[in-house]
Structure 1
Amino acid sequence: MRRRNNLRIPRGLSLADWCSLGQQIQAISSSSSWWLGDWLLYGQSEFPNRYKRAITETSLDYQTLRNYAWVARRFEPHERYGDLSFQHHAEVAGLAPEERGPWLARAQENRWSRNELRRQMRARKGIAGSARATQLKMKPDDCQRERWQAAALRTGEDLLTWITAVLDDAATSVPTASG
């Protein structure tokens, strides 16, 4: 029996059935991230003056939803790799569109975990792009850092990746000067 806050697993479940159950739960978890991102994008488009209120009424964390929407916005449904998790896509979402597909294809082909994809990308970035790296210095107060770290943890990201995602999302949602 499943409830919103627990899953009762019957005694005597075989290892194969237990593993299958875990895979089903993972599939639902990964799908729900896409679904929530797509839901928010729809709300932003169809109900621009009311979607924030609807989010509040659902009791969902606004920043987490914005992160889901940020990833969903970068991948049309046909660009999403069904064998890879939402988090795999989140890892490459900040890349140029033409770079995302090859990284996801490699991850799928080599059966990389999200963490391995991250390691591979960092290794490649260190070789190919060290001259392009820009260093920014910030001095957040303790409260800001704790709040940001907590938000990053809720999305499953490290702090730097989360900050980059939030800034990218903010940059793409700012209206142009012409309208």
Structure 2
Amino acid sequence: MKPSRPTGSRRESLCEKGEGRLSLDHSALARQTSLDLRDGLALDEWQRIGLQIFRISDSSTWWLGDWLDYGSRHYPDRYRRAIEETGLDYQTLRNYAWVARKFPPRRRRAALSFHHHMEVAALPEHEQDAWLREAESRGWSRNQLRQQIRKPSARPAESAVVQVRVGIPPDQLQRWEEAAGRAQRDLLGWILDILNEAARSTVALTEAVQPARPVPLE
């Protein structure tokens, strides 16, 4: 039985419609290392299959992120198991989980790719939403979004950008990841929490031991 074709000039765009169902057209047979296409495909059928493949590919990144986030909350050795199962490198897996935690499903925009979300994940939530809304309305690619964010005038004046590079032994990094996961925080957010708490404690301690100022005699 041959698959039905779209009527007229209508095209089924998964990216535009944001459909939840993810599957390939019956004209395509997907295998682990190949894709077999039926002979005689019309242009719109071939194009529709390409959109389906794109959506599945992009969604699989979200799936991995959510899978890793689940593991971070349930299994102590989450990343080691993930690496063994997927063959992906540690940094890639950690990035996927970080972005997934930054964007709960209700805040993810189906019209934008996972990598659009990754570009703004380090920003405050209100800036994330503003940039993604702008990217969707203007049809920006991931690279165009990155270029806009990096413009000097694009960053709020009150925001300070500090880049710190620290060499961390792998076993220590794993302990930090474990602690962040137990606190249900991404690694960067957990580190900032620890630093802010240390700063508050230091200031409070300094103020507590600071000698009282002498009262001038009248």
Shared fold (TM-score, shorter chain, > 0.5) = yes
Please state how far the C-alpha of 1:172 moved relative to its aligned partner: 3.3
Distance 1:75 1:9, change over 3 A: same
Which residue of 2 is the match for residue 153 of structure 1?
A: none
Deviations 1:107-145 (A, max 9, x none): 11111111111122122556755994446689x9xxxxx
1:75 pairs, out of 86, 103, 107, with 103
Structure 2: runs of 5 or more not aligned: 1-28, 168-185, 198-218
2:67 pairs, out of 29, 39, 46, with 39
In 2, the alpha carbon distance for the partners of 1:117 and 1:64 equals 21
Distance 1:135 1:46, change over 3 A: closer
Which residue of 2 is the match for residue 96 of structure 1?
A: 124
* Match runs of 1:124-135 below 5 Å: 125=153, 128-129=156-157, 132-134=160-162
Report the structure, 1 or 2, having the larger helix content. Answer: 1
Which residue of 1 is the match for residue 189 of structure 2?
A: 172
RMSD after superposition: 3.0
Please state how far the C-alpha of 1:12 moved relative to its aligned partner: 2.0
* Match runs of 1:1-179 below 5 Å: 1-48=29-76, 50-61=77-88, 62-123=90-151, 125=153, 128-129=156-157, 132-134=160-162, 170-173=187-190, 176=194
State the AA in 2 paired with 1:52.
Answer: Y
TM-score w.r.t. the length of structure 2 is 0.59
In 2, the alpha carbon distance for the partners of 1:131 and 1:40 equals 31
In 1, the alpha carbon distance for the partners of 2:155 and 2:82 equals 42
Question: What is the number of residues matched between the two proteins?
Answer: 149
Larger radius of gyration: 2
State the AA in 2 paired with 1:96.
Answer: P
TM-score w.r.t. the length of structure 1 is 0.70
State the AA in 2 paired with 1:51.
Answer: R
In 2, the alpha carbon distance for the partners of 1:54 and 1:31 equals 21
